[in-house]
Amino acid sequence: MDIIREIQSELVEMKEFPKFSAGDTVTVSYKIKEGNKERTQLFAGVVLQRRGTHATETFTVRKMSGNIGVERIFPLSSPFVESILVTKRGHVRRARIFYFRERTGKSARIREKRSYAKA
């Protein structure tokens, strides 16, 4: 198993992204290829979970499109993920917030984490 991780670390190029966890609102910009054209699309939503380690790490983002919930799984080591911008830090008690799928209205709100500036 150790040999596999060493080979993965050599072959897979890891980018530097900001720290984020479940409950945070993020905007992911990723490349889409349509025929011979290439464009960047944004996907903004709440992070439901992070799983895996190093080269196999993925995160799930959920957004509401109209009245329909849309989820997308992004691999962190994907060359198509250009950048991740953390819009809001959320305060949740769990690492995987799948209960968020059934919530609508006021119960679907996530408290914002308070950050105190040091003078």
Which domains does the chain carry?
A: 2-105 (2.30.30.790)
Supply the pLDDT for residue 119. 61
Look up residue 96 and give its two tokens.
């995987």
Plot region of 83 (φ>0 → left; ψ -120 to 50 → alpha; else → beta) = beta
Best CA proximity match to 60, nearest among 20, 92, 91, 93: 20
Q: What is the pLDDT of residue 115?
A: 78
As a whole number of angstroms, the distance between CA 32 and CA 2 comes to 34
Residue ranges, the chain, pLDDT below 50: none
**pTM for the whole structure:** 0.88
Question: What's the pLDDT score for residue 41?
Answer: 96
pLDDT on residue 105 = 86
Query: Which tokens belong to 73?
Result: 């799984």
